[in-house]
Amino acid sequence: GQNIDQPTEMTATEGAIVQINCTYQTSGFNGLFWYQQHAGEAPTFLSYNVLDGLEEKGRFSSFLSRSKGYSYLLLKELQMKDSASYLCAVMDSNYQLIWGAGTKLIIKP
Amino acid sequence: GAVVSQHPSRVICKSGTSVKIECRSLDFQATTMFWYRQFPKQSLMLMATSNEGSKATYEQGVEKDKFLINHASLTLSTLTVTSAHPEDSSFYICSARGDWENNEQFFGPGTRLTVL
């Protein structure tokens, strides 16, 4: 079956760095997405990786290793507003998004 | 990025009534639209995928006669929850994908449905 695994919850300190991991097993691969979702709101797009390596976008970076079925989202200089759930999603061979359960990130002052 | 609107943002209805939710792509043509449901503290669950002018493809376990989807144009899809019951209370989110390379989906703001 298809499976996306990510930690349920993480806690980090304001100003610090946090890495959220995601491992996946899917039927085919057409890219991996990271979304941010604040409570009661719809997800917003953060990043897209289809080739191996690191994609950097401001304070957020996303890494992909297709051979290992592994990705991480790196958040630097954490701010209180970064408290949210972070969803990892993989697009399979049918171009359907397979969603992880999300990682709730709690930022402490 | 592209903008997707959803209406209404919040609806409360009595058990047994039907509720229609609209999803619009405002500044692009959505070749594919997706309908998700999300229960509290759970991840998104895909309900159905719709392409303009064709019947929606429903995920396993989703009743197509209860959740009617119409994708009448490249900018509008509707989800009608028929004969709603309290267990249908949830956060319904649509997303839309245009004809671009990275297959990114843009999400609407969601509709909070409460069935009394």
d(CA A44, CA A67): 27
Omega into A109 within 30° of 0, i.e. cis? no
B108 contacts chain A (CB < 8 A): yes
Q: Do A97 and B46 touch (CB under 8 A)?
A: yes
Instruction: Categorize the per-residue pLDDT at B9 as very low, low, confident or very high, splitting at 50, 70 and 90.
Output: very high
How many other C-beta atoms lie within 10 A of the C-beta of residue B66? 14
Which residues lie across from B67 on neighbouring strands? B81
pLDDT digits (tens, 9 = 90+) for A4-51: 999 999 999 999 999 999 999 998 999 999 999 998 888 998 999 999
Q: Is B47 helix (H, G, I), strand (E, B) or coil?
A: strand
Q: Is A1 helix (H, G, I), strand (E, B) or coil?
A: coil
d(CA A23, CA B44): 18
DSSP B55: P
Q: Which residue of B has its CA nearest to A102?
A: B43
- Residue A53 CA, distance from chain mean position: 14
Q: Kindly list the distances between the CA atom of residue A42 and the CA atoms of B42, B61, B91, B112, in Å, as whole numbers in the listed order.
A: 13, 23, 9, 11
Task: Say if residues B2 and B32 touch (Cβ distance below 8 Å).
Answer: no
Q: Which residue of B has its CA nearest to A6?
A: B43
AA identity, residue B9: S
Contacts of A43 (CB under 8 A, 6+ apart): A35, A36, A37, A87, B44, B93, B107
Rg (CA), chain B: 13
pLDDT digits (tens, 9 = 90+) for B55-99: 899 999 999 999 999 988 889 999 999 999 999 999 999 999 887
B60 contacts chain A (CB < 8 A): no
pLDDT of residue B40: 82
Instruction: Categorize the per-residue pLDDT at B2 as very low, low, confident or very high, splitting at 50, 70 and 90.
Output: confident
SS3 content of chain B, % helix, strand, coil (to 5): 5, 50, 45
| Neighboring chain A residues of B102 at a CB cutoff of 8 Å | 31, 48, 50
pLDDT digits (tens, 9 = 90+) for B13-49: 999 999 999 999 998 888 899 999 998 878 889 999 9
| Neighboring chain A residues of B106 at a CB cutoff of 8 Å | 45
| Neighboring chain B residues of A91 at a CB cutoff of 8 Å | 103
Q: Do A42 and B107 touch (CB under 8 A)?
A: yes
Per the listing, tokens 């719709």 go with B50
Interfacial A residues in 19-48 facing B (CB < 8 Å): 30-31, 33, 40-45, 48
| Neighboring chain B residues of A45 at a CB cutoff of 8 Å | 1, 104-106
Residue A7 tokens read as 């930690």
